[in-house]
Structure 1
């Protein structure tokens, strides 16, 4: 998916290159019992633009040390800078934000980041409105809320369907806003509840999870739409199966999930006999470690107790971006680094395996 510079609806701002920023909290808003929106502004007083669906990486000094987490910008410029965070069971960062971040507090952030956003439209109107299908589960609604808000601000016609899966009515984030979307907007919202009664929004149906039959009932022309899906890994895996069964073109599917991958960072897998071992020097940390050729540099660093910033571990967020001063790696990222950054010697250590001895500015 190609991103082109475009004016952000309601602000006249072009999306900015990602960089470090200090953000001040100006207020909070309760969305559900465990979801809160934080209103932010640049502490410097300047402003910046972003593309609908992009995110920020917050770098926080926690009691147990520095941590980084990715949070979608749920708003669009002109409506203020907002992130919407769900307090997860056992989630140290999300619960800390809910309990501690309030008006006047300042946090470090990096961004905007991400490519989970529709293409910029040309000046000439297309022969027919673009067709989108937005699939969200739980807090996966946040980037799609931003995209939906941007479409509502754009006068150009659009044909979009949002299928939002949650456990019950009390778990619907942005409930009032979603229900208020007019039918004349070209955006149709359908709530899919696994339990409880369906509110007066969308097509009445019995509670249940989204499956292929429901998908085709609600969106018969799914194969003709560009799909943006965000939610937990299990949900996204189910979405892929549904779309495969519907003869959907996988090139029209864009997915995003910030859940930590199944592997546990910091645990280096047993080394197979004959696997090469390389030395990795972290200049600023003053540490040298050994990293097998089949192991991600981040995993080896955390296992050795080297303090390095990281978040998604999927090559998406850019938190672990570092300058490679010497050596070479095999890197398989998921959009968290730009080609010109790679050309300038940057790497993401979470998805890079050494092909020789390395010297890293970290």
Structure 2
């Protein structure tokens, strides 16, 4: 069932185009499956946050006296910005997920940065495919809930892989979404259903044979995939073999948020180095042609939000006001953003002196 949303203030809004700091208060908690919970947060003062379905937050938790930062997709509808929900799966030996399950209570406060990420269907026209596995369903849930709220009956095939019916996050919502969106086709595949569970749906792991049988027209659709790294890699390979162009395949990928990383080894004698000036912070450094702008920033404590480190999530987007770079990204930035002078710091390397609006 979709969450109950409190009435939102009519005027109190914050438009978070760039990542901003948010102070969040836990408003409610509910069990989604035997090993997943949804935590619903509001901002202090219930200020509405504008975000796009599919984006995520970097949230800071105080765990056993230490700060721990994790990336969580927003699982609530983008039309309900006064409430931001995240859905967390308990991971064996997972420091933060276990702490959340055992300790976070309604009324507790956390800090967050966001919203972040480019895993959205903004400006995407035509039929869609959502491929998700496990807790990778969370950004897809935000999109589906937004479609329902906006009465946007999209032509979408949603194929979700779950270990068993008991482990399926948002299982109760799937049928409600299907009723509200007649053109949507929602299919759950059990990868390891328990004996005697009564499961009569499709079974098995993601494969070309399974995808071909369930989505024979995938070549004509835009594909969004979210789940474990191995799942997304297989999904990408299958989509490519079945004729989906690379520019119509999007995947979500984020890891534990990192504020500093080890510096690169000393630059080799043949490597060119360029001056990089971060305009807002007033800091300047040198960066070799083989080092990313992100690592150059981290080396001098200039803060740039980052998550996947692969040019996929779009979190580290910054404005280049002067100079040129080489950028090899994984779909985390749109061509119109590049045309406007934006780059992804994690996968951009200098080819001249630079000025970065940071």
TM-score by length of 2: 0.74
Counterpart residue number, 1:105: 108
State the partner residue of 2:193.
196
| C-alpha distance in structure 2 between counterparts of 1:219 and 1:348, whole Å | 33
How many pairs are equivalent? 340
Distance (whole Å) between structure 2 residues aligned to residue 277 and residue 28 of structure 1: 51
Of residues 109, 117, 124, the one that matches 2:120 is 117
The separation in 1 between residues aligned to 2:350 and 2:41, in whole angstroms, is: 39
User: 1:78 maps to which residue?
Assistant: 80
Match of 2:250 in 1: 254
Partner of 1:22: 23
SS of corresponding position for 2:138: helix
Are 2:285 and 2:300, in contact at CA under 8 Å, matched by a contact in 1?
A: no
Q: Secondary structure at the match of 1:48?
A: strand
CA contact (8 A) 1:53 1:146 kept: yes
Kindly indicate whether the alpha-carbon contact (under 8 Å) linking 1:325 and 1:360 is maintained by their aligned counterparts in 2. yes
Query: Which residue is 2:292 aligned to?
Result: 296
**Structure 2 CA distance for partners of 1:154 and 1:256, relative to 1, 3 Å:** same
- Cα drift, residue 47 of structure 1: 1.3
**Aligned 8 A contact 2:252 2:313 in 1:** no
Q: Which moved more, 1:276-285 or 1:264-273?
A: 276-285
User: 2:16 and 2:302 mapped to 1: Cα distance?
Assistant: 29
Task: Give the TM-score taking structure 1 as reference length.
Answer: 0.73
The CA distance in 2 between the partners of 1:133 and 1:111, in whole Å, is: 26
Which residue in 2 is equivalent to 1:5? none
Q: Is the Cα contact below 8 Å between 1:14 and 1:50 reproduced in 2?
A: no
Aligned partners of 1:24 and 1:105 also within 8 Å: yes
1:162-190 C-alpha deviation (Å, 9 max, x unpaired): 11112222321111222444457322221
Query: Which ranges of structure 2 fall in alignment gaps of 5 or more residues?
Result: 1-6
Counterpart among 222, 227, 246 of residue 223 in structure 2: 227
- SS of match in other structure, 1:136: strand
Aligned CA-pair RMSD: 4.4
User: In structure 2, do the counterparts of structure 1 residues 209 and 268 end up closer, same or farther at CA, with 3 Å as the change threshold?
Assistant: same
Partner residue of 2:129?
Answer: 133
